[in-house]
């Protein structure tokens, strides 16, 4: 099985003082860093996904600090960076072609936001024929609201991970993945 790590949108905008600060992004980014270090140490393929908004959006603006990949998972020279404008990392990007050219069949997915880009990217990857593992504690999200009802970030996070595990992906913790 040829696998690759996909780190989705761990960008400054999601941290304290960012336009879309999430709940507890630091622990998630630290776990993503452990995965990144593991993949680097084994010379395994990895891809950094970076969201850059189209003009007129109030966040992920090209040229700002918020759009930059967070220092915890900052790419090093030679690592693949793919920019996107949609929640689905495959939509209008070179990601699928890049993974196919590498013979990748299994994706290990970490990043932000669980309820948006992790969900959309994982479902798309599965539909495109990839086996997926989502590292739940290397992802983060935020509180949401629907019809006047507040939904805590932890509930959003667990609900989306449970839905993904039901059919689309294996969900593991960082330690479970690294020790398997």
Stretch (H or E) spanning 49 = strand 46-51
Q: For this structure, is 42 an active site residue? A: no
Residues whose CB falls within 8 Å of the CB of residue 43, separated by 6 or more in sequence, listed in order: none
Active site residue 143: no
Residue among 117, 132, 137, 139 flagged as catalytic: 117
Known catalytic residue at 139: no
Residues contacting 89, CB < 8 A, separation 6+: 6, 8, 49, 82, 95, 117, 120, 121, 124
Taking residue 54's Cβ as centre, other Cβ atoms within 10 Å add up to 10
Name the catalytic one among 23, 33, 84, 139.
84
Q: Which residues pair with 135 in a beta bridge?
A: 172
**Residues designated as active site:** 9, 84, 117
């Amino acid at each position: 099985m040829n696998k690759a790590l996909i780190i989705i949108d761990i960008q400054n905008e999601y941290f304290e003082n960012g336009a879309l600060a999430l709940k507890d992004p630091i622990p998630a980014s630290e776990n993503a860093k452990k995965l990144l270090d593991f993949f680097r140490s084994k010379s395994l393929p990895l891809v950094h996904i970076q969201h850059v908004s189209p003009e007129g959006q109030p966040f992920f603006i090209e040229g700002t600090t918020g759009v930059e990949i967070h220092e915890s998972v900052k790419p090093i020279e030679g690592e693949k960076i793919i920019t996107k404008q949609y929640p689905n990392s495959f939509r209008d990007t070179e990601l699928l072609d890049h993974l196919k050219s590498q013979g990748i069949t299994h994706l290990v997915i970490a990043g932000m936001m669980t309820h948006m880009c992790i969900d959309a990217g994982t479902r798309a990857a599965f539909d495109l024929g990839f086996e997926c593992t989502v590292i739940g504690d290397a992802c983060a999200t935020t509180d949401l609201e629907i019809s006047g009802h507040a939904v805590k970030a932890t509930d959003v996070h667990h609900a989306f991970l449970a839905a993904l595990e039901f059919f689309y992906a294996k969900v593991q913790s960082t330690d479970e993945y690294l020790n398997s």
